[in-house]
Amino acid sequence: MNILLTGANGMLGKSIEYWIFKNFPNVKLYSTDIKNLDITNYEQLSIFFDNHPIDIVINCAAYANVDGCEQNPEIAYSVNAAAVGYLAKLTEKYSKKICHISTDYVYAQIGENMPFTEESKLEPLSIYGKSKLLGEKKLMENTDKYFILRTSWMFGFFGENFLKWIYYSSSDKPLRLIVDSFGNPTYSITLSEIIMKIIFTENYGIYNASNFGYTNWYDFGKYILSSAGLTNHKIEKVQSAELKRPAQRPNYSVMNINKIIKTLNYTPPSWQEAVDSCVKILKQKNEF
């Protein structure tokens, strides 16, 4: 099998490479990023498809800086929406599959505090969420062989993320962590495993994909410190509004992942188990 991986230098892209290297030695992986494949350039993409025997596309490329999207909406819509449409057109042209990574930020804030299913109302609050939702629509308009995985609160041992920020933080100053925002932490390795399970099926459609369980940022950070044995750190509870960030975030974006569990006959580890696994690797290796 030949896989085109876009956004390969990001946290999830590197995690997928890691997972494939460990578990799928017969997979030919074309790892690309903006430096060698600009997915916002349809002509360049078309030439790449013409010259490479691609079976599946895994699209991890995204402009995921939530506040940056508010300040640069043209970039957000180009990368998160238009480029997804281009990939969809080419996978349809060559009759190939595509797995696209989306976000919990596409859901509406309806005030009921019930976990979102894939059929829940969609009404994003931010440019990031709106551009990702438009990307989903462009994908579905242009091909039928798609997997859309909506994920959230990603962490891992590659790249910059919340867990590593906590793990490598100094104990000199208290960590200010939000108590009124709830979501599903997602280990990039768990998501990589889910991706590599779903793409070998023909169960096309939209799925929520994360580790099992949900929490808030305060308890998430508190558990990371406990797992890492960092006992000297202090934490301060803050409300999300106190941070005064440019983009509005959902206070509740908990997802119901029963559909992916049933489809794959696979229950992802709890987010706590995933944190323990990630911390164990960080303790063993410090080069990530």
Ordered by where they begin, the domains of the chain are 2-159+186-213+253-269 (3.40.50.720)
Q: Residue 104, exposed/middle/buried by CB under 10 A (0-12, 13-18, 19+)? A: buried
What pLDDT shows up at residue 103? Answer: 97
pTM, rounded to two decimals: 0.95
Handedness of CA 184, 126, 119, 101 (dihedral sign): negative
The alpha helices in 41-82, defined as continuous H runs, are 42-51, 66-71, 73-77
- Residues 273 and 213: beta-carbon distance below 8 Å: no
Which residues make beta-bridge pairs with 118? none
For 63, 218, 233, the CA distances from 129, given in Å and listed in that order, are 11, 23, 33
- What's the DSSP call for residue 115? P
Pairing of strands 215-216, 182-183: antiparallel
Task: Give the pLDDT band (50/70/90) at residue 122.
Answer: very high
Average pLDDT taken over every residue of the chain? 95
Residue 118 CB-half CA count within 13 A: 16
- pLDDT tens digit sequence for 189-203: 999 999 999 999 999
7-46 per-position pLDDT tens digit: 999 999 999 999 999 999 999 999 999 999 999 999 999 9
Q: 54 with 30: CB under 8 angstroms?
A: yes
Give the span between the Cα atoms of 176 and 261, in whole angstroms: 34
